[in-house]
Chains A and B, each alone.
Chain A
Amino acid sequence: MRATARIALALSATALLAACGGGRLVGNEEYGTDNQREMILRQTGRNPADAGIVIFGVDRSRQQEQASGGAGMAVNAFLWRATLDTLSFMPLASADPFGGVIITDWYSPPGAPGERFKATAYVLSRQLRSDGVRVQVFRQVLRGNQWVDAPASAATNAEFEDRVLARARELRTQSAGR
């Protein structure tokens, strides 16, 4: 009975503490374990929550890994791949996955040989967000034998961004199915 009283008092104190709020949920990985698999995974630097094979449901750890592009990428992988896909009709001048910058070379559409375009895209976020990509399109027109800067329609930038986001959403959906 004395033991039960002690436990009841401890539980009361705990419940009062919980009522105050401000607590932090202790993750399962913060508790000790006697499970051989978990001990080995923890000791060899692998997260037990991500190891193994998902046989039912969506493997979010893989999604997160893909989204962050693993250790080699600093920006959202879906946005990065979507930007590359969207701008792939133009020749690529440079692509920096760490800075998130894609610069294309000048490109003349077959139907309009008198003008050419160049695009610079910035992937700004690690998260898949609608404001995570910015595209700037530059336009030049041929005057005589000289290419001269000309304003590009402001809507063009927004259209490119919309296409990138739509493609990113597509890639994300495809990945969730796996």
Chain B
Amino acid sequence: MRKILLGTTAVVTAVLAGAPMASAQQAPTVRIGGSIQAYAGYIQQSGSFSQPGTNYTMQAFAGQPGALTVSTPTGTAIIPNNLAASGVGNHARLGKFDFIAIPTVNVIVSGKLANGLTYGGQVDIVFNNESRAILPGSTNALGTSRTAAAMDEAYVFVAHPRFGQVRFGDEDGVMGGLMNSGWITGFGTGGVLGIWENFQTRQGGNRTQTAPGGLGDNTKIVYMTPQFFGFDFGVSYAPNLGTGGQHGCPNDTNTGLCDRSYAFSGATSAGIPARGGELGVRRNEWQTALRYRGNFSGVGVSATVGWIYGNAAKDLTDLGAQRRTMSDLNIWQVGAQVSYMGATLGAMYQRGDFNFFWGNPVRGDRTGEQLVLGAQYTNGPITVGVNYTNTLVEGGARFGFSSSTGLMTRGVPGVSSTGALQSTNQAMMRRWGLGIGGNYRLAPGLDLIAEYVYHSIRERGRDLDAGRAGIQDRMFTNTFILGTRLAF
């Protein structure tokens, strides 16, 4: 290994020592831009009615004494402990109509040196906090306002025609959106991978998609090569799921929220990143992508092969022994799209060890796979499109972990009478959805949008809605959106 790394360094050094190149220098510019989106939504979703007496059960989550949890497809969801003083009583009926507004402000810096090196950076400030992500593991149930400023991307880049580009900071990885092909989202708000999730409540988890952007803006370093003969290659590395500054620990106790925790109690329940993506077991995340782009008689082609790999933090027993309970994240992705005369067709398939929403699966879980298809067509100011996603993943984990014994125990096949015990489930979860949408461009940076999205989650025999009596093993939503958006 050392030889390989040394060899790499030597080659890079040789390249860097090449002939200098002259170029017009440009002083840096600082630009401020942003966007405002406003939508009206009509939502028909299951899980709108929660019933008294079937709500939350008191269950302490590791490192967060007194917090309430409720069974969800992700394992457990954490309920702020002053929302419910006991395990019963919280229930509600949801209507079908809502408005939302999503503003962002961006600061963009760019400049160029005389040696051809371009540099710059970007800070993306959004005012759209997730209801649950604002609860940093404390007793503060109200948390920060949903419209409080929060940082999304924030990175520095340097780029050179000969050496490529390096980005360092909070940014998507090369498979997390930078170099993917085959994901068709350039219509409406992105169809089934678009804004409709903002209208979805969490019952049943319909709002979590395994889409490139969901991999997260965890602080990482990204390197992307120049394009050679149509090909460019990228690699990115992030040590963990942490974003922004600081260490992530919410208080004096080390928990799984601490960025550097490589083993923590309750890790087996944190395969799917939670708390805005910062509580999760994924560690040492590598993303690589090889992309080809070309033009054949007016037909544009783009294809990407990508690979994502990440270790998992270990679970701790009550006695402090480390147990490897989660599989590494290990996914191969292939995507391609072709464009001609305003029409674009795309397809993407990925397969590997993952749960939905880029989660590390529990050891012994089935392999995950996802297919995404899409098409869009632009003619003048009008764009229309459709996309489809179908994901097959493990539902309730097949193995349960006991922190007292340190053993992983295979659940008994079948379904418990309450449907609440995940370890007794061995069913496949199917998550599929379809989005149809259109845009009318009023001006550069301004358009009108109409969109419809259907999405469903099914897992035979598994209760996906703890807020209702009986076993609810099929959750769905129909969302209709009308709105406008402006970017400047």
Q: Which residues of A contact B (CB under 8 A)?
A: 1, 3-26, 28, 31-46, 48-49, 51-60
In the docked arrangement, what's the CA distance between A52 and B111, Å?
16
A25 touches B159 (CB 8 A): yes
B232 touches A51 (CB 8 A): no
- CB < 8 Å neighbour of A10 from B31, B187, B235: B235
State which residues 160-193 of B face A: CB under 8 Å.
Answer: 160-165, 172, 176-180, 183, 185-187, 190
Which residue of chain A has the shortest Cβ distance to B15 in the bound complex? Answer: A19
State which residues 333-386 of B face A: CB under 8 Å.
Answer: 383
B33 touches A52 (CB 8 A): yes
In the docked arrangement, what's the CA distance between A54 and B447, Å?
23
- CB < 8 Å neighbour of A7 from B27, B37, B286: B286
B1 touches A19 (CB 8 A): no
**A residues less than 8 Å from B30 (CB atoms):** 54-57
CB of B228 within 8 Å of the partner chain: yes
- CB < 8 Å neighbour of A3 from B5, B108, B309, B446: B309
List 12 extra interface pairs beyond A53-B33, A58-B29, CB under 8 A: A5-B1, A12-B7, A19-B11, A21-B18, A28-B157, A32-B178, A34-B153, A34-B212, A35-B104, A40-B37, A43-B186, A55-B31
Stretch of B65-73, B202-210, B219-227, B315-323 that contacts chain A: B219-227
**A residues less than 8 Å from B126 (CB atoms):** 36
B212 touches A32 (CB 8 A): yes
B162 touches A36 (CB 8 A): no
In the docked arrangement, what's the CA distance between A17 and B14, Å?
12
State which residues 1-44 of B face A: CB under 8 Å.
Answer: 1, 4-5, 7-8, 11-12, 14-15, 18, 26-35, 37
Q: List 9 A-B contacts (CB under 8 A).
A: A23-B164, A25-B164, A26-B232, A34-B212, A35-B124, A36-B102, A43-B447, A44-B439, A55-B32
**B residues less than 8 Å from A21 (CB atoms):** 18, 162
Question: Contacts A15-B11, A31-B224; is A25 near B31 (CB within 8 Å)?
Answer: no
A60 touches B26 (CB 8 A): yes
- CB < 8 Å neighbour of B106 from A1, A7, A35, A58: A35
B405 → A minimal CB distance (Å): 30
Most buried by B among A4, A25, A33, A58: A25
**A residues less than 8 Å from B124 (CB atoms):** 35, 37
B212 touches A23 (CB 8 A): no
- CB < 8 Å neighbour of B8 from A15, A23, A38: A15
The SS class assigned to the B binding surface is: strand
B2 → A minimal CB distance (Å): 10
**B residues less than 8 Å from A19 (CB atoms):** 11, 14-15, 18
Tally B residues with Cβ within 8 Å of A. 81
**B residues less than 8 Å from A41 (CB atoms):** 444-445, 487
A55 → B minimal CB distance (Å): 5
B441 touches A45 (CB 8 A): yes
In the docked arrangement, what's the CA distance between A21 and B15, Å?
9
**B residues less than 8 Å from A20 (CB atoms):** 228
In the docked arrangement, what's the CA distance between A44 and B122, Å?
21
A51 touches B488 (CB 8 A): yes
A7 touches B235 (CB 8 A): yes
A15 touches B15 (CB 8 A): yes
In the docked arrangement, what's the CA distance between A26 and B104, Å?
26
B487 touches A51 (CB 8 A): yes
Task: List the 10 closest A-B pairs by CB distance, nearest first.
Answer: A23-B226, A52-B33, A57-B29, A40-B487, A34-B213, A46-B444, A56-B30, A25-B161, A37-B35, A15-B11
CB of B233 within 8 Å of the partner chain: yes
In the docked arrangement, what's the CA distance between A95 and B235, Å?
55
Question: Contacts A3-B309, A12-B7, A52-B31; is A23 near B227 (CB within 8 Å)?
Answer: yes
A24 touches B179 (CB 8 A): no
**B residues less than 8 Å from A18 (CB atoms):** 12, 15, 162-164, 225-226
